[in-house]
Chains A and B, each alone.
Chain A
Amino acid sequence: MSQDIHVIVEHLRGQVADITYVAVAAARRLATGTGGGVAAVLLGHDGETLAGDLAADRVVYIDDPALADFNPEHYNVILADLIGGDPPRCVLFGDTSMGAEVAGVLSARLSMPLVSRCRSVDAANGRLRFISQICGGKILVEGDIPEPNALITMVPGGYKPEQGRGETAPEVTRTSVSPLGSGRVAFAGYQEPKAEDIDISTTPILVAIGRGIANEDNVELAEELAETLGGAVCASRPVVDQGWLPTTRMVGKSGKRVKPDVYLALGISGAPEHVEGMSDSDLTIAVNTDPEAPIFDVAQYGSEVDLLDLLPVLIERVRAAKGG
C-alpha cells in the first residue's frame, strides 16, 4: 500500500474534463497530508499528451485501441487490476457520467469504501477529511476519509480547475494491459446534439426558468421577457424533461455551460447539477419563493416574490425602460 493519491483522468473526444483538474487540486491537498505523490491515471488511445498540463507528479498511461472512447467495463477491469494490485491511499474520480459508475463498481468489486459528492478535502494531524454536498446543495456533511484506502468522487465548487493545472508536464509511464476482450458492454458510436436554434452558451442575457414556471403556457411569458430584453430563454432539467423546451436550452451538468452578462433565474432551486452550468455568469438575479433556496448562495441579487406575479410586471417595466 502506498501513500499516493491517484486521479482517474476523464476525457471526451480529446478534451480533459474540468472536473479532473478539480480532482487534481484536491489530490494535491491530500498528498500534503500523506507525504505521497499525485499520479494521474490516463486510459486512452494515442492520447499520451492529454495529461500534460495536470498538476500531477506523474502520469500512468494505459493505451489500447479499445480505450479510444469511454467504455465502463474496460475501465472497471483495468482499474480493478491497477488499484487492487497496489492500492493508493485515495483514488479520485469525477462524480460524472463516467466517473460515478466506475467508482461504484470498483467499490463493490474491491471492497473499498466510497465517498461521493465530495466538494473539498483537508489533511491535518494525520487525518484526511472530506466535505460532501447533499440534498440539492442544502446540506454539507463532514467526516474522515475511510482508512486504509478509499475511492472518492468529486463535484465542482470547492476548487477552481486552474488550481489543478501545472506548469511542467509530468513524467509519463506507459503500462500495458492484457488484451481487452469484447465484453458485455460495447461502445457503438455518438449521437450529436441536435442543431441549435439559439446557442445559449453565447447569449449575453438569459431568462432561465425552472419547475417554478409551473406549466407550459407560462413558458410564453418567459419568452416574451427574453425577447423584450434581446436575450433567450434557457431552463433547468425538469422543464426540458417535460418537453416544454428543447434539450439545447438546458443549463447544467448534463446541459450547457453558460456565462452570460445577466442570468435571471426564475423558479430554479439551485441544485448543484444546475449551478455547475451557470456559476460563471457575471450577474445572477434569482427569484424564488423559498428563502432557503440554494440559488441565493450563487446569485448577487434575489427576491422571494412569486415569479408568476412578477413576470407580467417585469415585461411592462422593461418595455417602458426600452422606450417601447
Chain B
Amino acid sequence: MNIVVPVKLVPDLVEELEIDDGGTALDTTWLRFILNEVDEHALEQALLLKESLSGTVSVISLDGEGVDDVLFASSAKGVDRLIKLTGVDYGVNVNNHAMARFYATTVRILEPDLVLVGVQAHNDLDGSLGPLLAEYVGMPYVGYVSGIAPINGRCRVRKEYPGGLIAEMDVEMPAVLGVQAAESPPRYVAISRIRQAMKTAAVDEQAAPDLDTTGGPMVDSMFKPETAERATMITGDEDEVAGRIVDLLRELGKA
C-alpha cells in the first residue's frame, strides 16, 4: 500500500493574529506556521495503514517557514519519503485550488494507492484541498473519514455525520480520502529522534509548476469580528471568580 500525504501549513491560532497594512491579509511578520491539525491525523492514519499492511508513506509539502521541521518530524515518525515543492510558500497567496494543482502534478507521478489529506484547514476560503486534488487527478473522494479498512482494491471507510452517526462507504482505489480523525491519536515523537532525522533523512526538493490560483475568490477586506456582544468579564483571582460564578448559578437556582 503506497500512500501519499499532501500537507498544508496554517497560521498557529495560539499566536495573536494581526492584519497587515493592506487590510486584506494576515501580517506574516510574527505569524508562526504549524501543520494543520487534521493533517496530523491524516499522517497518523497513513502510518497505521503502513504498519498493518506494509508499503510506503510519502509526505509532500510546499516550501515555507516551519516546513523542514514538519518534514523531519514525519520522517522520525516513520515516513519514507519527504518531498518539498520549492518556489512556492504558504506565506504568500497560494489558495487551495493552486495547492491542489501543485500536488496533483506530484501525485500523478507517484501513482499511490491512497492519498490521505486532512479534511479541512481553518483558513480554507476556496473549499478544502481534498476534493479539488481528487478531481484534478481523476480519483474519487470521500471526506470526514475516521476509519479506513482496505479490502480487495477498495477501502471501507467510516464517514462521519453529525451526532456520532457513521456512514460506511466502499471506495475504489486509488482514491483521495479526507481524514477527520485517525483511528488512534497522532503519535508523539521525541525531539532527539527528530534531530536524528535532520541528520539522516533526505528531502527531495522539486521545483513547483507555475502558480495558478483560478477558482478562488478575491478578498478585499479582512477584519476581526465585532465585539459588540462580548461577554461581561469577571475580574479578580480564582476565589473571586468562583464566588461570582456561584452567585450566577444561585440566581438561576442551580447552586
Contacts and interface: CB of A to CB of B under 8 A. Distances in A.
B84 interface: no
Interface in B14-55: 14, 16-17, 19, 24, 26, 41
A177 interface: no
Interface string A171-201: 0000000000001111111111110000000
Contact of A153 (B127, B246, B250): B127
Interface stretch (B65-73, B107-115, B154-162, B193-201): B154-162
A298 B225 CA distance: 12
B132 A104 contact: yes
B222 A140 contact: yes
Nearest to A244: B185
A149 interface: no
A113 B232 contact: no
Nearest to B159: A97
Contacts of B100: 108
Main secondary structure of the interface of B (DSSP, over half): mixed
Contact of B233 (A113, A134, A303): A303
A2 interface: no
A221 to B, nearest CB: 13
Contact of A105 (B13, B134, B175): B134
Nearest to A300: B231
Contacts of B130: 101, 104
A143 B220 contact: yes
B222 to A, nearest CB: 5
Interface string A60-86: 000000000111110000000000000
B11 interface: yes
Nearest to B37: A238
Interface in A112-151: 112-117, 130, 132-146, 150
A192 B224 CA distance: 39
Residue from A104, A133, A134 having most chain B Cβ neighbours under 10 A: A104
B202 interface: no
A46 to B, nearest CB: 19
A255 to B, nearest CB: 7
Contact of B126 (A113, A248, A317): A113
A97 B143 contact: yes
Contact of A185 (B165, B171, B232): B171
A139 B167 contact: no
Interface stretch (B1-9, B75-83, B85-93, B210-218): B210-218
A56 to B, nearest CB: 23
Contacts of A143: 217-221
Nearest to B14: A290
Contact of A135 (B123, B230, B248): B123
A20 interface: no
A115 B170 contact: no
Contacts of B255: 229, 318, 321-322
Residue from B144, B175, B181, B249 having most chain A Cβ neighbours under 10 A: B249
Contact of A139 (B144, B222, B254): B222
Top 6 closest A-B pairs, CB basis?
A: A104-B131, A193-B164, A108-B135, A302-B231, A184-B172, A191-B166
